Amino acid sequence: MRVMKWSMIALAVAASTSQLAIASSQDESKGFVEDSQLGVKLRNLYFSRDFRNNEGGQSRAAEWGQGFIGTFESGFTQGTVGVGFDAIGLLGLKLDGGKGTSGTGLFPTGSDGASQDSFSEGHGAVKARISNTTLKYGGQFTSLPVFATDDSRLLPEVAEGFMLTSKEINGLELNAGHFTRLNAQAQSYKDSIGGRNSDTGRKNPGLTEANVFGGTYSITEGLSTSLYYSRVEDHFRKFYGNVNWALPISDNQGLVFDFNIYDTKSIGENRTGAYVTKADGTSKLDNIAASLSGAYNIGAHTFTLAYQKVTGDGDYAYGIDGGGTVFLANSIARSDFNAEDEKSWQARYDLNFAEFGIPGLTFMTRYARGTGATTRTTDNGKEWERDIDVKYVMQEGPAKDLSFRVRQATYRSSDGVYYGSSSIDELRLIVEYPLSIL
């Protein structure tokens, strides 16, 4: 993987010799207060799972909650070096859900298995900017392919640490980060993500140190590439690469190809480890996970096909580096199709009703199937998933941007491919309303 690191350097050098620096964002700063933004996203979420073949275990999990996601982003003070402050405030309230139906991941649970009635947390971050380069320290959301916080439940994950983002060259974005804490979506205390050691079964401490760097370069208007590296102490190191190519055919037709690849290897104490322990008792990660998707768009319709494969030792592991750190085509509603040796394909259809006079209404359905997975019971594990997603966003009026969404997923596997998961039917009903206060 040295080639990837040298390619990143060569890419930056090439970009610097062929592109002029873009206008300075700091020069255009209006001030700390003048550029400030304050907003609250209201999220109402009902989440249910029916477990189909979970003999002797829980037959159903269902909970309903109301989330408040408050964010404040100040502007930057004027001058050569601008400074500012950001804040995040999160509050989750349980509206329904008893002890026997907990376990959806919406709320913290106690030792008796019952979920809490409410939970909250707050974070602050200071930031500084020179030209088009920003350094931020504190609590923040991240979206890097090797360190991405998850926002798929009632409240999002929050990472704590440093993040440097530079956009000094047109088309090139460089990132570097150092993170020391990560809060889970259903917890309010720091370092709440850790999991259990695959070898010992003991609970691991939370994130202690993660270092990431890389960047994305837009070669042309429709062609971009990304290269990233991360090192999560005592867990694993990762390399990530991406190529995305959007190819217009006509005014209402186009193709989009997207290639993603991860190279993961255990380091240090191997606190994550492979899901399946080898015959010699080891559970080291040393694998490559890659996916390729192609989408054809014509008017309101988009048709997508994708293929994904995991080779080497262990599954593609993530979570300690953020629940969103899985930029693979077949990572969908329930399964990631990321088991050891697994090969999977996906067919997807999207429909945008704006073409038929109903702007804001979208529909999606997809089917994915995986085979050849190594599990604790077989070396040819199989799984499949079918998803349906319907969303409507209000386009105007006092309720503009209010959205209603229905997500349904059907997952089946008799081999426990997805970390021993049973077959399930899943339903999510989501209502969101973003309020802009400043």
Amino acid, single-letter form, for residue 50: D
Residue 243's pLDDT band (cuts 50, 70, 90)? very high
How many residues does this entry show for the chain? 438
HSE-CB of 261 using CA atoms within 13 angstroms = 13
8 Å CB contact between 201 and 188: no
pLDDT at 202: 54
Q: What is the pLDDT of residue 230?
A: 98
Tokens of 60: 């159903």
User: What is the pLDDT at residue 124?
Assistant: 98
Q: What is the pLDDT of residue 1?
A: 42
* pTM for this model (two decimals): 0.91
Q: Which of 158-167, 314-323, 415-424 has the lowest mean pLDDT?
A: 415-424
Q: Which of 433, 438, 355, 364 is nearest to 394 (CA)?
A: 433
Q: What is the mean pLDDT of the chain?
A: 90
Helical (H) or strand (E) element with 237 = strand 236-250
20 versus 318: the higher-pLDDT residue is 318
Q: Would 277 be classed as within a structural domain?
A: yes
Q: What is the mean pLDDT of residues 259-272?
A: 94
In a domain, 69, yes or no: yes
| Strand ranges for 233-339 from DSSP E | 236-250, 253-266, 286-298, 301-313
Is the Cβ–Cβ distance between 247 and 240 less than 8 Å? no
Work out the pLDDT band at 12, boundaries 50, 70, 90.
very low
DSSP letter assigned to residue 136: E
pLDDT tens sequence across 189-221: 666 676 545 455 555 667 899 999 999 999 999
Residue 276: CB partners within 8 Å, gap ≥ 6? 283, 314, 315, 340, 374, 375, 376
Q: For residue 325, tell me if it sits in a domain.
A: no
Asked if residue 208 belongs to a domain, the reply is yes
3-state SS assignment for residue 30: coil
Residue 58: pLDDT band (50, 70, 90) is confident
Cα–Cα distances in Å, from 36 out to 88, 127, 370, 438?
14, 13, 47, 7
R_g (Cα) of the chain, nearest Å: 22
Q: Is the pLDDT of residue 389 over 50?
A: yes
Give the span between the Cα atoms of 71 and 124, in whole angstroms. 10
d(CA 356, CA 363): 13
Q: Report how far residue 11's alpha carbon sits from residue 318's, in angstroms, rounded to the nearest whole number.
A: 27
Residue-wise pLDDT tens digits, 145-180: 999 999 999 999 999 999 999 999 999 999 999 999
Cross-strand partners of 61: 49
Does residue 238 have a pLDDT over 50? yes
pLDDT at 52: 80
Range of the domain at 154: 2-284+390-436
330 is a domain residue: no
Residue 181 has pLDDT above 80, yes or no: yes
328-343 confidence digits (pLDDT tens): 999 999 999 999 999 9
pLDDT for the residue numbered 97:
82
Distance between CA atoms of residues 285 and 295, nearest Å:
32
The band of 376, judged by pLDDT with boundaries at 50, 70 and 90, is confident
Residue 373 lies in a domain: no
State the total domains in the chain.
Answer: 1
d(C-alpha 79, C-alpha 194), whole Å: 42
- Percentage of the chain exceeding pLDDT 70: 90
Residue with the larger pLDDT of the pair 19 and 73 = 73
Cα angle, residue 234 at apex, residues 232 and 240 outer, rounded to 5°: 30
> What CATH number is associated with residue 115?
2.40.160.10
| Strand partners for 41 | 69, 434
Weakest-pLDDT range from 4-18, 157-171, 404-418: 4-18
Determine contact, residues 340/310, Cβ cutoff 8 Å.
yes
Q: Is residue 358 part of a domain?
A: no
In a domain, 380, yes or no: no
Which amino acid type is present at position 340?
Answer: E
